[in-house]
Amino acid sequence: MNSANPTTETTHYDVCIIGGGAAGMMAAGRAVERGLSVCILEKNDQLGKKLLITGGGRCNITNAEYDTHAFLSKLGKTGHFLHSTFAQFDVKSTFAFFESKGLELKIEEFKRAFPADDKSASVLRVLELRLRKVAIRTSAQVTGFIAEKKSAANTDAKSDAKKEREPGTITGARLKNGEVVRASHFILATGGTSHPETGSTGDAYAWLKEIGHTVIIPEPSLVPIAIRDPWVKELQGITLSSAKLTVFQENKKQLTKKGRLLFTHFGISGPTVINMSRDVGELLKWGEVDIEVDLLPDKDYAMLNAMLQELFDKNKNKLFKNCITEIIPGKTASVVTRLAGINPDTAINSITREERLKLVETIKHMKMKVENLLGPDASIVTSGGVACEEVDFKTMRSRLYPNLLFTGDVLNIERPSGGYSLQICWSTGWVAGSAIEVPEVE
């Protein structure tokens, strides 16, 4: 707990870790097992608050893509920065780490890995058990760093320019109550700005700017998408296991993705939507965006037309609404019927060729107009963070302040959903905890 005296300075630690989430706990456990004295400063009243809600409370612990090059290729233009990090702790290392601690893992669709018991709390328990020798301080809100720049011997213009480039030192972390925590090294593990209700509010970005680091302004990047069309809301709660979504701007195709789609009260969500939202957000900066949903992407026009003809031939004396559900289930069939302009009480033998082809067109192209992306409170991951060029990814050290190390979502790394963000936390946390030299005993 916090000290009651706001004017005192705490014990000097080898390592002070700011943020007790996934990356912070991994770094702390690694550092303390190497014999370092470690302190965690966590602004919440408990560790791992955000970890507990990941994956809907199940914790999508990583993505089981064991090929590091293939894994990092999913991180866009920023993936190449992490090669030296993953060379030290990769996806296989994550499996080995958690399984060695008695946590059984399982792999589901899209290579998403979860604890076998589907409980985020089980992941948190493994991490917390490694922190028995760590000084954990909850409800400890940091407000900034105390930093020192090295001075140069002379003061001419050329020397001053050099001085600006010379690395400095972080000597302390200021708490809201006025206390200063001193350490030889500081590991920043405060996360980004997604799920601000868990404490991820981007506090550290202001501190970093104050000491001269470049911070790319965070934006919601992996979020659900709000849709204008009322029919989408009618399908709230409906999940399509395999749909194809195609994004258009000014009638030009921009991107296509295939996978699981969830309809919600505001629009659409699910892994496929989440992973295309960053691109949709960029397009929205330039104008309106439309999305088409293909309900049966594995059937082309001819195949779908033949299916309907066969269905209608078998059910000539039935009403349309009583047989269309053999191809399109339940509530979705009702919406498709209306969008296709067919009276659901029409007898099958009265359906015209034109109506059948219109139905094929509707099933393959359910058009919707994007309203906007949801905000940070709904974001799985936010883009932005510390500029990667200012980080040595072999050690996770700041190039401006070598005793300051960065981990997890505080870095400007692109991260799709599906376990990628947590894997970055495990890898960067492990490397940061491993990079700090153990002081020699006198």
Whichever domain contains 78, its CATH number is 3.50.50.60
Q: Are 225 and 373 in contact (CB under 8 A)?
A: yes
What average pLDDT score do residues 279-289 get? 86
- The Cα angle at residue 134 between residues 90 and 430, in degrees rounded to 5: 10
What pLDDT, on a 0 to 100 scale, did the predictor assign at position 202? 64
**Residues 430, 427: Cα–Cα separation, whole Å:** 5
Does residue 2 fall inside a structural domain? no
pLDDT band at 4 (very low <50, low <70, confident <90, very high): very low
How confident is the model over 82-93, as pLDDT tens digits?
Answer: 999 999 999 999
Instruction: Report the range out of 63-77, 86-100, 307-321 with the highest average pLDDT.
Output: 86-100
Do 259 and 343 share a domain, yes or no? yes
What pLDDT, on a 0 to 100 scale, did the predictor assign at position 152? 43
Do 98 and 183 share a domain, yes or no? yes
What average pLDDT score do residues 5-33 get? 86
Record the tokens describing residue 17, joined without a space.
């870790």
Do 301 and 400 share a domain, yes or no? no
Does residue 209 fall inside a structural domain? yes
Please tell me whether the overall predicted TM-score, pTM, comes out greater than 0.85 for this model. Answer: no
Record the tokens describing residue 295, joined without a space.
């309900």
pLDDT band at 158 (very low <50, low <70, confident <90, very high): very low
How confident is the model over 175-220, as pLDDT tens digits?
Answer: 999 999 999 999 999 975 444 444 445 678 889 999 999 998 766 6
What pLDDT, on a 0 to 100 scale, did the predictor assign at position 423? 96
Cα separations in angstroms, 392 against 170, 192, 241, 406, 432? 17, 19, 41, 9, 10
User: Last residue of a domain, which of 347, 374, 401?
Assistant: 374
Q: Domain holding 338: CATH number?
A: 1.10.8.50
Do 366 and 391 share a domain, yes or no? no
Do 18 and 159 share a domain, yes or no? yes
Q: Are 184 and 397 in contact (CB under 8 A)?
A: no
Q: Are 78 and 384 in contact (CB under 8 A)?
A: no
As to burial, measured by CB atoms within 10 angstroms (0-12 exposed, 13-18 middle, 19+ buried), residue 441 is: exposed
Which of 202-206, 348-352, 390-394 is the least confident region? 202-206
What pLDDT, on a 0 to 100 scale, did the predictor assign at position 75? 87
Do 193 and 258 share a domain, yes or no? no
Residue numbers of the domain that contains 271 = 224-374
Do 201 and 253 share a domain, yes or no? no
Statement: residue 124 has pLDDT above 50: yes
Q: Are 259 and 327 in contact (CB under 8 A)?
A: no
Residues whose CB is less than 8 angstroms from the CB of residue 156 and which lie 6 or more positions away in sequence, other chains included: none
pLDDT band at 386 (very low <50, low <70, confident <90, very high): very high
Does residue 363 fall inside a structural domain? yes
How confident is the model over 216-267, as pLDDT tens digits?
Answer: 876 666 788 999 999 999 999 998 988 999 999 999 998 999 988 999 998 9
Higher pLDDT residue, 306 or 201?
A: 306
What pLDDT, on a 0 to 100 scale, did the predictor assign at position 7? 45
**Residues 121, 137: Cα–Cα separation, whole Å:** 20
Do 235 and 171 share a domain, yes or no? no
